[in-house]
Amino acid sequence: MNLSSLSFFRSLRKDNKQFAVIGLGRFGRAVCSTLHKLGYEVLGTDIDEKQVAQVLTEQIVSHALQLDSTEPAALKEAGIFEFDTVIVAIGNYLQESIITTLNVKEAGVPHVVAKASSEIHGKVLKRVGADHVVYPENEAGCTLARSLTKPAILDRFELDPENSIVELIVPDQFDGKTIADLKLRSRYGLNLLAVSYNDKFEINPDPNQRLQKGSAIVVIGSNKDINRLPI
């Protein structure tokens, strides 16, 4: 995630309780099932009746409809244009994905998230109005590569290509040292934001607090400086 994604997520209505998902492949179904488990009302649609039947059987949506999303009239009839947020989860059918995104944006849906299967696909989706584009395969690959090479980094929030906020396991060399001893700002150019014990975060921790192996810290800084940490 980066700052432009952040402004998209901040623009979402907090009181919105309903989502429409167009395309019920593996990605679309994962979106439906997670939203449904979180207590949101989800309308799932797909051109393929079998996919519609599957989500109804799995009970991962509140409602499901078979429709061709390249047809504006079908979307209108299904009430898709009334949703605040629509997820276009058609990754492998370029033309359908682009026309669908165009249809929902032209009809005035305020928040449209679209799945892209390549960079150029993502660029076109943006051009036709997608407010947020996701590249799940690419993102999963990057995350896996990072965790294979830096297993101590538990989570990363990319502010921009050069700077991040990361949550990392306290390195062995930091065990038993106080936060003040570490001099993270002068030695590494990093600022410590929080310390976490047993999944609870303490924000702005006391500089005299001793860090322990097995707990985690959250730091902000440039990726270059983060990479200099002894992890």
- 59 dihedral zone (left: phi>0; alpha: psi -120 to 50; beta): left
In whole angstroms, the minimum distance from the beta carbon of 155 to ligand ATP comes to 24
User: CB-wise, 26 or 123, nearer to ligand ATP?
Assistant: 26
User: CB-wise, 24 or 184, nearer to ligand ATP?
Assistant: 24
230 in helix, strand or coil? coil
> How far apart are alpha carbons 162 and 167 in whole angstroms?
16
In whole angstroms, the minimum distance from the beta carbon of 61 to ligand ATP comes to 13
| CA-angle at 7, arms to 137 and 111, nearest 5° | 70
The candidate with the shortest Cα–Cα distance to 33, out of 67, 14, 56, 10, is: 56
User: CB-wise, 68 or 84, nearer to ligand ATP?
Assistant: 68
User: CB-wise, 116 or 216, nearer to ligand ATP?
Assistant: 116
User: CB-wise, 92 or 191, nearer to ligand ATP?
Assistant: 92
Residue 229's beta-bridge partner residues? none
In whole angstroms, the minimum distance from the beta carbon of 22 to ligand ATP comes to 6
Amino acid at 166: V
In whole angstroms, the minimum distance from the beta carbon of 49 to ligand ATP comes to 9
In whole angstroms, the minimum distance from the beta carbon of 153 to ligand ATP comes to 27
User: CB-wise, 68 or 158, nearer to ligand ATP?
Assistant: 68
User: Directed axis angle between helix 94-106 and helix 119-127, to 10°?
Assistant: 20
| Residue least distant from ligand ATP (Cβ) | 25
Strand 191-197's sheet: what is its strand order? 153-158, 163-169, 216-222, 191-197, 200-203
In whole angstroms, the minimum distance from the beta carbon of 74 to ligand ATP comes to 8
Which residues of the shown chain bind ligand ATP in the complex (CB under 6 A)? 22-28, 46-48, 51, 68-70, 89-93, 96, 115
Strands 153-158 and 163-169: antiparallel
